[in-house]
Chain A
């Protein structure tokens, strides 16, 4: 059997964790090989070893049957291995052409041969059907197009083996479909592809074989055709997975939050990133704001909680006007907020678990006496919360937040915000980057909050989450709400059309 890549018994250890433990991975020529696993299973580490970003502690790599040492990405380039990272590595104020040639510029008499490069890129983009304008600046093109630039970058360097790290994370359903076509086209042209993902549907659609990693070990390599999604998920997680959330129909009651004519300017500059937004969130429902990243969702929430000033409009919480209040007063008026960036906003990473749990109410008389912190109460609170929300850490209440896993950090924040027992719970991308177990837990908690009569305002980029968790969907596109949808009546495709701005509806 001919393999273009063989990674044999790869072990890579980081302080305190074996990211890869005797992992075996073999890539055939012209196949699309999916690398499936939860966050932290070691997929990215394995591919970083292949791409020369890390050195394996043990094991060896063969390319086209020859033993190789890949010490850095330049070595990988020389072996015709290319990688598209999850977060694109592009210079925003450079043109497409400039970005593609960056790092492998051809010169003549010490000057760039820009024209030749541009022609070459045009030729490549036609051959592989990667439509993109070589003269456009990166900041002016869509995320989907930026990804094409990344692919062209690899092809320009004559990569034969292409690694894609979670390529669909920030794409619309339509863009995903397009990408899948591109991937298939690339294999027809003789390329071999590794697709890092945790989305089963994508694997089913394009991959020929799939290697499953779990906790740093390679569990198995299977033919996708002969395996069901349930089997794949079970191998990935190590137990049976519930695909459908257990959720009764929502029984919305009175309005908790009423937002009217809300307009918000971007932080620096004059652009209106949220324009004339109107909506209501009611008790007993999960209202989801869906949309592609960067369409104003972040700013909308910042505006609601007071982290960004609003230009116009009103925010009524139980008939109380919030828009003129400080962050603290809004929070005390009844707003719980699970922030989008848990490490930047949600936690003080160098504080302990117990000190992070009192971040929102350290100033209440429960936790201090004449300005002196009540350490006993703080410890009791931590122990209670650790128990109730299953927050795991190495040293209990005194663990540093920095040392905790992402899932447990998020449980800490979730617990803290739920425990405040406010009428409105805002959860922004609450499951981003978490593994299946933590996701299930957090979804269940959000549903429980809804059933207890809270208004839950969810902002999510994950289509699955939007479709499964929400009771009502508002789609945000370029700062405006462009559709109000009922998740039981639409499918992901239609939602995608709204998200991409090609369809608009009425918002009540």
Chain B
């Protein structure tokens, strides 16, 4: 048994990214444990059954829950991918929320008004949401490239601009005054379910999850297999070296933010092109962009990692819903996620911890890198 453990660890030590993956898993474990402690303090009697519910959420109601898990994960995968992509290219896109909002409005607008598109309705809506989100994301990119305005500052402020702009435009163009929300989109604009409806009966799942997976695959390929990705990552890891090698740093910054914004914008479209979902005219920032930051961190800024982390997020969120059957509020889930983020942010520390443990057991040295490398 001990030998088996040692061999497993040796194997792990030989894979270059495994330490980072382990540290992410460790962050999740710590987050869950912390959540359990909070639950024990708040309501000791229900803590363990409640915790069990969090861990087993989707398993409780069969395929329907699984469908809902994917459904909830979809927008987060988009925003997470947006943040992760920017991050890999050296930019911190804290404006995914704004890009998501712009995408959402454009999709809803087209969904309400452009019924003439027929079977292409939803696809065109996503396309224009993607374009809109991209242009919105390019703004902080342009400011950074040509005016040296830090993208964190400009994109976070643009979140508010996007929110108020959305409210204004909803009121002007697609407003349903009785309920202070947008009008319902036409049926043809709703994302189809295809065969998913029969696999996950009764769930809200739609093909948005496939679109998300498609985006993950494309971004993975762009980042890891192309000269464009090589260039973007060079700029991201070391912009001085990129400049030395004659890369056009300004162009890369703008393109990078444009793509990041486009991903988030498409996410906004997939979230709102669903029957029964409306844009509300409250002055509240949409949370998906910020959750995306957490998911990007947890997913180690790798597209595949974001996909997994996003699904995990959907899982937790669903667990939180079931948790309300006990005497808990679903905010426990937010606390758990927050702690996971904290530990993800400490990932370098956790990596060192994991590396030194593995070294102790296997006597193998491990390289720790601050970022993932091109495969």
Contact = CB atoms under 8 A, between A and B. Distances in A.
Interface string A297-311: 000000001110000
Given A344-B238, A363-B227, A351 B245 contact: no
Contact of B238 (A15, A348, A360): A348
A209 interface: no
Contacts of B373: 350-352, 355, 400
B190 interface: no
Contacts of A358: 230
B227 A367 contact: yes
Choose among B228, B234, B238, B241 the residue with the greatest number of A CB atoms under 10 Å from its CB: B241
B227 A371 contact: yes
Name the 6 nearest CB pairs between A and B, nearest first: A328-B246, A327-B246, A345-B244, A350-B371, A348-B238, A350-B237
Interface residues of B, number: 27
A362 interface: yes
Contact of A371 (B226, B237, B244, B245): B226
Contacts of B234: 348, 351, 359
A405 interface: no
15 contacts: A306-B246, A307-B244, A328-B246, A328-B248, A331-B245, A347-B241, A350-B371, A351-B237, A359-B234, A359-B245, A360-B246, A367-B227, A371-B227, A400-B373, A402-B367
A337 interface: yes
A326 to B, nearest CB: 7
Nearest to A364: B227
Nearest to A17: B365
B360 interface: no
Nearest to A355: B374
Contacts of A483: none
Chain A interface size band reads: 35 or more
Contacts of A402: 367, 369
Contact of A339 (B231, B244, B370): B244
B365 to A, nearest CB: 5
B241 A346 contact: yes
Contact of B370 (A328, A350, A363): A350
A348 B240 CA distance: 9
Contact of A331 (B227, B242, B246, B369): B246
Interface of B: 16, 225-228, 230-231, 233-234, 237-238, 240-248, 365, 367, 369-371, 373-374
A350 B369 contact: yes
A342 to B, nearest CB: 10
A243 interface: no
Nearest to A306: B246
Contact of A345 (B227, B240, B367, B371): B240
A465 B8 CA distance: 51
A371 B229 CA distance: 9
A397 to B, nearest CB: 12
Interface in A313-372: 326-331, 337, 339, 341, 344-352, 355, 358-360, 362-363, 367-368, 371-372
Contacts of A344: 238, 240-241
A349 B227 CA distance: 18
B225 A16 contact: no
B230 A373 contact: yes
A34 B227 CA distance: 51
